[in-house]
Amino acid sequence: MENPPPNVAQVFQALGDPTRRTILERLGTGPASASGLAAPLGITLAAVVQHVQVLEDSGLVSTRKTGRVRICTINATGLAVAEQWLRARRPVWEARLDRLGDLLAVEPLKPSV
C-alpha cells in the first residue's frame, strides 16, 4: 500500500467538487463506510467509491477494508498540503496589494469608454 505524497493540483482539484466536499464534511463527524456515505448523497455507491478514490489519492481521506466494508476516515495530509501552498503565497500577495494601493494613489485612473 503505497502512500505517495499528494501534489497541490490533486488536492485543489479534489476540493473543487461539491460532492467531495460534502463527503469530507460528513467524515469530519466520524468514519463512515462507502455505502454509508452514498445514502444521503443521492448517487450510486460506485460513484461515491470513485470520489473516495480521488480523495484518497489527494491525501484527504484514508480508507481501510475490514471484511466487506471499506471504512473511510479523514486524513489531514492533503489539507496540510493546501494550507502550506496558500500560506507560502499570502505574504507576497499582500505585499503586492499594498504596493498597488500606492500606485493607484499616484497615478490618476482613466475611466474606460
Partner DNA sequence: CACATTGTCAAGTCTCAGCTTCAGTGTTTC
Partner DNA sequence: GAAACACTGAAGCTGAGACTTGACAATGTG
On the CB side of 32, CA atoms within 13 Å amount to 22
Site string for DNA, 9-38 (x = CB under 7 A): ----x--xx-xx------------xxxx-x
Strand, helix or coil for residue 28: helix
Residue 40 touches DNA, criterion: CB under 7 A: no
Binding positions for DNA, 71-110, rule CB under 7 A = none
Output the smallest distance, CB 91 to DNA, in A: 27
Among 65, 87, 90, 96, which residue sits at the site for DNA (rule: CB under 7 A)?
A: 65
Residue 32 touches a copy of itself, criterion: CB under 8 A: yes
- Cα angle value 28/41/78 (rounded, 5°): 40
What CA–CA distances, in Å, run from 45 to 33, 38, 51? 10, 6, 10
